[in-house]
Chain A
Amino acid sequence: MTALTRPARPGEDDLRLRPIPWRRMAGVTWRQHRIALAGVALLLGALAVWLWIMGTPLHRAYAAAVSCHPASSAACQALVGTFDSTNDHMLGPTSPGGVFLQVVPVLIGAFVGAPVLARELETGTFRFAWTQGFGRWRWALAKLVLLGVVLAAVAGACGVVVSWYYQPYFASGNQALGLSQIPPFVTLFSLRGVAFPAWTLAAFVIGALAGMLIRRVVPAIVATLAVYTGLAIAADGSLREHYLTPLVTSSQNVSGTAWVISQWWSKDGRFAFANPPLNLLNQFCSAPPSGPGKPSSGTFAQCLAPHGYTLWTSYQPASRFWPFQWIEGGWLLALSLLLIAVTIWVVRRRAA
């Protein structure tokens, strides 16, 4: 009964200790990962400066071409040509600049995310970290959340610069002026708006989980690159077009900014074919339009329409850019949270 009268030594005999405050992990995470974070800051900073240097003449050429009157004059046409030829190596996802931009999130994910846990397991320091009073799963959660938020914020800032760079191509009225115009969905959708930070976060979390499962830094980096690439290709190639039901029209005046998903032909209210067969074209389109490039479906529509064929187009209008951005950002965030939860579960279960 002396136990009741003797004052307990503080913090010693109380089995239900208050957890050590989360905020203490901020300094710990910073000290451990400042080199990686500095690397990311350097990479994204250089990227922003580079985009700014490239973007300034682009925006200047655009402003000059748009404000030129009359638009049909030779001088104005020359300005249009200047804009169209400025930085064309940056235009589109398969251009050199586009490819470079697209690997940025996965580089961050692989080189910051994969080592976060894998290095601890590889060098044995997890035996130090997981036996401290903070507790191993809280330690892992704090690290992942802190680093994830910081990386997403930095990537978000960089995404603003990317968005700014590509802005001239998405302005309405480009078509009328003969300026280069690209559907906002097609060009580097994942590098603008909220998609860029979301993809960066997802890449980081994929890296962390891969590191926890594989326990070695270099194989975890390779696995991160592979998984991320698969996910990006799936999103680009088949997921994104289904975010919202496409609009369908038989009008030939689908805006040049719209993202055309598919086209098909019908006759008498029934599906006829996806592409007009050659014999039909030879029969009805006696003088196939000549000129550079492939004749578009629109030109066939003119000669096939009198014979009862209708061209249908399903498309995503440019006005859906932001809803699509939020949908993509949303599912990537949900995926990231799920993967963080899985990582924490593995950390708790992992035997030394």
Chain B
Amino acid sequence: MNVVEASGLGKRYGRTWALRECTLEIPAGRVTALVGPNGAGKTTLLNLAVGLTAPSAGEVTVLGGRRAGSPAALDGIAFVAQDTPLYKDLSVADMIYVTRSLNRRFDHPYARARLTELGIPPRRKAGKLSGGQQAQLALTLALARRPRLLVLDEPVAALDPIARHDFMATVLAAASADGVSVLLSSHVLTELERVADYLVLMSRGRVRMAGELGDLLATHGQASLEELALHYLRDNQTEVAK
């Protein structure tokens, strides 16, 4: 089963294409890194996959053929958007209540245990938590939904190194222990190195490369995800310059 399947997918904002001719299959059970410079179309692709945006061209399905944004798709996907938006004036307990009410499944004991472990007091307002705690709260709420696919848009961009590490550890634990497929975008390449086993490389609205990370490294003769990405994107830039 593919957790994300796109064919000829495109999204236009006004006259500019944020994403063009995207044909892609992301298999289940992987941690997929969506890599590319700012403005590459990563967020657009993720928004299309979670159904926040409707495509201008082509189509995208998730979790084995469910239309993105359909009730069945929403049910199986948990999304943590960039800057982890939370209702700042709701308490942590209220955020749990809201998420629990809006979803079919919600693992309340998991959410409570996780927040206790993280030392996040349930009565504190979400807006009063530190950046790392807000990110962890958003991730906990997403994982407590017991999704089959977890989508994270630049989850660690605003976090300090320790918070970054802790966040990724939680993601990795969910992926390995519970078999959650993960799709995350980031431009912090070193963090992805440890967790990703599938790579989608994007630049300027197009998917440039997609496949098993190990295979791609071997094919291109690179030692790490970071080198591969940098090498490819540099080459690509000079190509465009010519």
Interface of A with B (CB < 8 Å)?
Answer: 11-12, 14-17, 19-20, 24-25, 27-28, 31-32, 35, 123-135, 139, 349, 351-352
Contact = CB atoms under 8 A, between A and B. Distances in A.
B102 A139 contact: yes
Most buried by A among B13, B66, B99: B99
A212 B53 CA distance: 16
A131 B101 contact: no
Contact of B52 (A16, A31, A351): A351
Given A32-B98, A125-B86, A139-B102, A12 B76 contact: yes
B81 A127 contact: yes
Contacts of A126: 85
Nearest to B138: A128
Q: Main secondary structure on chain A at its contact with chain B?
A: loop
A27 B76 contact: no
14 contacts: A16-B72, A17-B71, A28-B98, A28-B101, A31-B98, A123-B85, A125-B87, A128-B138, A130-B52, A133-B145, A134-B101, A135-B71, A351-B47, A352-B47
Interface in B133-151: 138, 145, 148
Contacts of B174: none
A133 B103 contact: yes
A139 to B, nearest CB: 7
How extensive is the interface on chain B, given as a class?
A: 35 or more
Contacts of A135: 71, 74
* Nearest 3 Cβ contacts at the A-B interface: A352-B52, A127-B81, A132-B102
Nearest to A16: B72
Interface of B: 13, 47, 50-54, 66, 71-72, 74-79, 81-83, 85-90, 94, 97-99, 101-105, 138, 145, 148
Given A124-B81, A139-B102, A31 B72 contact: no
A14 B86 CA distance: 30
A19 B71 contact: yes
A139 B103 CA distance: 12
Nearest to A15: B72
Given A11-B104, A31-B90, A352-B53, A131 B98 contact: no
A327 to B, nearest CB: 39
A131 B76 CA distance: 10
Given A123-B85, A351-B52, 11 more contacts: A16-B72, A17-B72, A31-B94, A124-B81, A127-B79, A128-B86, A128-B138, A132-B102, A135-B74, A351-B47, A352-B52
Nearest to A127: B81
B99 A132 contact: yes
A130 B54 CA distance: 13
B101 to A, nearest CB: 4
Contacts of A16: 72
A28 B100 CA distance: 10
A118 to B, nearest CB: 14
Nearest to A349: B54
Given A133-B74, A133-B103, A128 B94 contact: no
Contact of B148 (A12, A35, A139, A351): A12
Contacts of A27: 97, 101
B89 to A, nearest CB: 8
Given A15-B72, A31-B98, A352-B53, A131 B90 contact: no
Contacts of A25: 101
B155 to A, nearest CB: 13
Contacts of A349: 54
Most buried by A among B51, B88, B102: B102
